Amino acid sequence: RLIRFDEELPSSLMTSSAQTGPTQRQVHLNTPFNDQKPGTSGLRKSSKQFEQTNYLESFIEAIFQTLPGVEGGTLILGGDGRYGNHRAIDVILRMGAAHGLSRVITTTNGILSTPAASHLIRANKAIGGIILSASHNQGGPDGDFGVKVNGANGGPAAESLTNAIYACSQALEKYSLVDADVIPLETPGHHAIGGMTVDVIDGVEDYVELMQKLFDFGRIKDLIKTDFPVVFDAMHAVTGPYAKRLLEGLLGAPTGTVRNGVPLEDFGGGHPDPNLTYAAELADLLLNGKAYSFGAACDGDGDRNMILGRGCFVNPSDSLAILAANANVAPAYADGLAGVARSMPTSAAVDVVAKQLNIDCFETPTGWKFFGNLLDAGRITLCGEESFGTGSNHVREKDGLWAVLFWLQILAERRCSVADVMTQHWSRFGRHYYSRHDYEAIASENAHGLYNRLESMLPRLIGQPFAGRQVSQADNFSYSDPVDGSETQSQGLRILLEDGSRVVVRLSGTGTKGATLRVYLECYEPSHGNLNQDPQHALADLINGIDALAEIQKRTGMQRPTVIT
Ligand code: G6P
Ligand code: ZN
C-alpha cells in the first residue's frame, strides 16, 4: 500500500536510526573550497568536481548555515535523476538531520522536476528546496552535476542569498552530518532520521493535480482524439514520468507518444537541451515528416520547452507572445493577465502584445530569479525567456510541460495548425525575426577579451551607422527591480538601432567548459511587411555587422556558431 505523507506514521515503517538515535559527527575541512560560486542557476560543475572529497558536503553546509528557517523547517528535495542524484539525496538528508530540519519531503527515486519542486515548496510552506540538476547540461560521470537552491516562494534563490552561501563556503572549517541508514527511495514511504521526518512521496502527483486546475483537460483530450497526433521527447530526463501521466494517461494520447520517457543517469548519452540541435530527432520528425501535428521536448530538469508544429519551429520569444495573446483560452488565465515580463535578450514580440492588451511589460536580466518579485507582487502573470523558458504565477520556476499544455489548450480552442497560429499572430502583431548564435567552449580569455573590447567600443557607437541603420543606444544592460529597488549591473551588451532592431552580446552564465558567447539578433517587420523570410536571411545584415565589429570569427577561431536557434 502507498503511504501518503499526510498519514499517521505506522511505527513498523520507521527506519532503525529513529529508534536508536543517529550519531552526529563533524568533519573538518583542511582548506575551504574557493570555487563554489553559484552561477545563473545554482552551483554547476562537472560530476568529477562534485566527487572530490567533501565538495558536495561543503556546499550543502553553506546552504544550511545560510538559508533562513532550517531549524524546525521543512525542505523539498529531489532532482532530475542524473548521475549523483541518489548520493546527493543521502548526503543532504543526513546533513539536514544534523542541522535540525524537522521534515524533508523527497520523491520516489529522487525524481522531481524543477517546476514540480517549486510547487511542492509553495504547497507545503517549506523554507525552500534543493534541486539536484545541471539543467540542460549533459549528465553521467563525464557530464555535469548541479545543486540549485530555491527559497520559500518556490523560486530560485535571490542573488543576496547565493552570494551569502558562497561567502559561507569560502570560510567553512567543518560540516555536520549524522550517520544513518540510507533511506529507500524506491516507493513512497514515511521515515525518520533522528527527529527529522523524511517523507518519500510520488513526485508527479501534486504537479499533475496543479495542471488539471490550470487547463481544461477535456478540451485537450478532444483535440488529441481528433486527427491531431502529438509527440513528446523527454530526452531520457525528468519529464518522462510526468509527460506519460499527463499525455498518455489523462489526455488519452497513445502509448509511445512520450519518447525517451525513462529517466537515465546519463540521459542516454544525449544532451538534454530542447533545441533544434540537441533534440534533432524530434525536430526531424516535425520539420521533415508528416506523422505529427505537434511536437515538444523539455530539458533535463523539466523547466525548458521547445514547441514544434508540422514543418514549423516556434521561436521561444514568439511562444511567449502567443501564450500572452491567447491566454484567455486557459481557465487559469481567463480573467486576463496582470502584466507580462521577458528577459532582456528575449525578443520584443510580447511587448507588442502587452501594448495591445494594455498591460505592463517588464524587461529583466537573464535568469528566472528576476521574475520572482514581479510574480510575488502580482505585477505579472506570464513571463518568459529566449532560452526556451516560459512560465506563470502558478509556480516560481519556468515550466516546460505547462507550456506544452498551454499550447495544446490554444490549439484545442483554435483548431488550426501550429503554423497557422504563428502566421495569424504575425499578421496581427508583426513579426520579430529573431535568432541566437552560440559559440560554445571558447577559451575563456578569448571570450572575455572579445566582450571587454566590445564593451569599451559601445559609447563611441551611438549615432554611428551599423548594419545599414543608425545606432540609437549602446550600453551594458542594468536593471532596477521595480518591487524592491535592487540594482543589477552588467547584464549584457546591447546595440539598439533606430528602427527597433538590435544585437545583444552576452557570456553564458551556465556553461562549464570554457566560455560560451551568445549573440542575440532581432529585427521587426510590421504586419503588412514580408513575414515569410528565413530568419537567418532577414537578420543577415545584423549578423555580418556584429561579426565585423566584434571580430567574432577572428577572436573565437570559429567559422560559424556551434548552435543556431
Ligand atoms: C538557466 C536559467 C534561465 C536563463 C538561462 C540562461 O536556464 O534558469 O533563466 O535564461 O539559464 O543561460 P545562459 O547560459 O545564457 O546564461
Ligand atoms: Zn532546466
Angle between helix 114-123 and helix 205-214 axes, rounded to 10 deg:
90
CA distance 118 to 289: 36
Contact 202, 237 (CB under 8 A): no
- Sequential DSSP letters for 289-350: -SS-SEEEEE-TTS-BEEEEETTEEE-HHHHHHHHHHTGGGSGGGTT--SEEEEETTS-THH
CATH of 207-428, one of 3.40.50.300, 3.40.50.11260, 3.40.120.10, 3.20.20.150: 3.40.120.10
17 lines ligand 1 (CB under 6 A): no
* Element at 523 (helix H, strand E): strand 515-525
389 lines ligand 1 (CB under 6 A): yes
Question: Which residues are placed with Cβ below 5 angstroms of ligand 2, an ion?
Answer: 135, 299, 301, 303-304
Domain range annotation of the chain: 11-202, 207-428, 431-564
Give the residue, by CA position, lying nearest to ligand 1 atom 5. 367
pLDDT value, residue 22? 79
**Residues near 203 by beta carbon (within 8 Å), at least 6 away in sequence:** 78, 107, 108, 111, 112, 113, 116, 120, 241
Cα distance between the two ends of the chain: 47
CATH of 11-202, one of 3.40.120.10, 3.40.50.1000, 3.30.450.40, 3.40.50.300: 3.40.120.10
CA distance 40 to 148: 10
> Of the listed 135, 387, 392, 435, which one is catalytic?
135
**If you measure from the C-alpha of residue 44 to the centroid of ligand 2, how many angstroms do you get, rounded to a whole number?**
12
pLDDT value, residue 369? 87
Q: Is the dihedral of CA 225, 230, 236, 241 positive or negative?
A: negative
Cell matching residue 246: 499527463
CA distance 289 to 17: 56
Cell matching residue 58: 561543503
Amino acid identity of residue 382, one-letter, is: L
pLDDT value, residue 512? 67
- Sequential DSSP letters for 426-482: HHHH-EEEEEEEEEEEE-HHHHHHHHHHHHHHHHHHTTSEETTEEEEEEEE--EE-T
* Element at 563 (helix H, strand E): strand 563-564
pLDDT value, residue 5? 35
For a pocket test of ligand 1, which of 40, 137, 565 has the largest count of ligand atoms closer than 8 A to its C-beta? 40
**If you measure from the C-alpha of residue 366 to the centroid of ligand 1, how many angstroms do you get, rounded to a whole number?**
6
* Element at 119 (helix H, strand E): helix 114-123
Q: What is the pLDDT of residues 242-290, one digit of tens each?
A: 999 999 999 999 999 999 999 999 999 999 999 988 999 999 999 999 9
Rounded to the nearest 5 degrees, what angle is found at the Cα of 120, between the Cα atoms of 377 and 385? 55
Give the residue, by CA position, lying nearest to ligand 1 atom 4. 367
pLDDT value, residue 550? 96
Give the residue, by CA position, lying nearest to ligand 1 atom 10. 367
CATH of region 431-564 = 3.30.310.50
User: What is the ipTM score, two decimals?
Assistant: 0.97
371 lines ligand 1 (CB under 6 A): no
Q: Do domains 11-202 and 431-564 have the same CATH topology?
A: no
Strands (E), 72-201: 74-79, 103-107, 128-132, 144-150, 174-179, 189-193, 196-201
pLDDT value, residue 11? 40
* Element at 536 (helix H, strand E): helix 535-538
Cell matching residue 483: 518591487
CA atoms within 13 A of residue 344's CA, in its CB half-sphere: 27
Low-confidence ranges of the chain (pLDDT < 50): 1-19
Identify which of 373, 351, 371 has the alpha carbon closest to the alpha carbon of residue 361: 351
Identify which of 313, 330, 528 has the alpha carbon closest to the alpha carbon of residue 429: 528
**Residues near 262 by beta carbon (within 8 Å), at least 6 away in sequence:** 236, 240
> Ligand 1: which atom is nearest the Cα of residue 386?
10
Q: Which residues are bridge partners to 24 per DSSP?
A: 178
Q: What is the pLDDT of residues 178-211, one digit of tens each?
A: 999 999 999 999 999 999 999 999 999 999 999 9
pLDDT value, residue 277? 87
Q: Is the dihedral of CA 14, 188, 146, 386 positive or negative?
A: negative
3-state secondary structure of 105: strand
pLDDT value, residue 159? 84
pLDDT value, residue 513? 75
Q: Is the dihedral of CA 245, 251, 256, 261 positive or negative?
A: negative
> Ligand 1: which atom is nearest the Cα of residue 369?
9
* Element at 25 (helix H, strand E): strand 23-28
Judging by beta carbons within 10 Å of its beta carbon (0-12, 13-18, 19+), is residue 347 exposed, middle or buried?
A: buried
Q: Reply yes or no on whether 135 is catalytic.
A: yes
Judged by its nearest atom, the ligand closest to the C-alpha of residue 343 is: 1
